[in-house]
Structure 1
């Protein structure tokens, strides 16, 4: 294992301190317990939007704290859920009289920790669970995983809260966005968790992993390496079938890198995806390409589609100013 670290036990703390110093104009960092909050004062009676999860997916979630997006984020250790005390402390720090909305990726540890924090929180609160990974069946025992669609959820709900939407509206909106969003990923390599010191699974040089998650776990199947055209077709056909997309519909296309894939390849995937969707009369009206929901040093990418209407387009276009996503400010 070759990584720019001093020791696995201090990696997260040193990284978060560096993040806080690099973006001191946007966020502030609380070290005991770990959470990040936006620096800018929010409007009175604004719903507080909070998310979090294991580290190793940067810039998710800490990179999306700021105006028009998250009010706070709780980072756990690498691929490990944050603790309820982190979430409770973060919620108490940013609650502003209108309640708290938690955005939770559908992983058992994350869901359990946020549920405990919500029970202890002495204010109105609600939870939206992100479950956009269509590589798993809808009737999977633990439900579908939350992956790159989390960013889309955080952006749109952050905009709604910034515009004054109440907690009930934000909760209903989050569920609607989740139902309109689907993702699927492919890995060319595994990732190396620092505490483990070796790749979490093995792929031969001529193998790829279809339907991979974001925690270094196996996907739905290991297959032979194929041209990018074929990979994109397999990802998109599954997503389109799941969303039951039809000609004439408008979508947001998000091509997300897992941390070790060059932008040249991510934009190639975007080009192939746009050709595939255009042939089917599906209109790409908004897009995002880059490393946003990563899996440490995994090579590969995911494709996310969100069905858009005029309201969701306005929320996506609304001003945002965070460390890793910003426009309109």
Structure 2
């Protein structure tokens, strides 16, 4: 009650008659009591202090808050008058938070795929989330998609709304689980097949597996792991294109997918220029560049692709700059 900014005399009167905290005051019915003793007590108090206390204690938000139990953090900071031992109590609470088991999204994906991921697979998926791109914006797409399972799905919305309609929003009439929306839906499959056809053009043989595209869990093969940087932007672009038509009954556009790859290229291009890491970037994108340009000319896609032409020039400039320094 001391936080209500009322006079000390009013607080003392209330503590004597109704209790020492707001919870006791709310359950004492002091504000509704019309007995002679209650009227005399109210007459001793300042009128505006009485109105302030009664209006605060009868508010719906205040009533709901006073009914709940205090959390451990509230007990530490509200009940401890002295600072003695405060640091130790805070440290113990932080240790409890650190030892709590957190939900692992990769394990949820394993359950959805009806698979068992080894410890090495889990580590590979976690590394993929952290290092899938040099650009923070691109990493955000991957983290939202698979890291925190950000997107709402029909099954989850059916549970929230207590409804029996958990069918896929894209119109295939199948159960709309997260794995179905990202991979299994017949309207989503065409774009994944296109991704794998691009991989074949790059002479990359890869199993047709959702764990690779969604989580970055590759077979334990040195060649596949080495070429991972070339494939990852294609997978992230596909995920972003699918998310664009998340609730629409249509197939993700192939043109949108190619534009999204180019957008990823643009973000990584300027990110690597800023970090002066153009050579690894050029190595990663050079193979994909030719195939993308041929698709762009074939499909006559309208987009700003002018900065890609400078990739070879920038690589040469970087080499010349290093030679001058040496």
Mark yes or no: TM-score above 0.5. Answer: no
* TM-score when normalising by structure 2: 0.27
Decide which structure has greater helix share: 2
